[in-house]
Amino acid sequence: MTVSLRQLEYFVAVADEGSFTRASELLHVSRPGLSIRFWRWSESSGARSWSAYRGKCA
């Protein structure tokens, strides 16, 4: 599977910020759009599952 630079950028932003909202603001994309792209990529890549609780990622 190939990963685009943009997908990696989204993944890293969510990990660094710990929040889809803050990551979407940083990347200038909508929060729902970022969330959907993030979960689709993590599912298709077999990346370690993340959990979200009250807007924070763990």
The CATH number of the domain holding residue 27 is 1.10.10.10
Question: Domain count of the chain?
Answer: 1
Whether the Cβ atoms of residue 47 and residue 12 lie closer than 8 Å to each other: no
Give the predicted TM-score (pTM) of the model: 0.70
Q: What is the domain extent for residue 28? A: 5-57
Other beta carbons within 10 angstroms of residue 57's beta carbon come to 15
Amino acid at 43: E
Summarize pLDDT for 6-58 with one digit per residue, the tens: 888 988 898 899 889 999 999 999 999 998 888 887 777 766 655 554 555 55
Whether the Cβ atoms of residue 55 and residue 20 lie closer than 8 Å to each other: yes
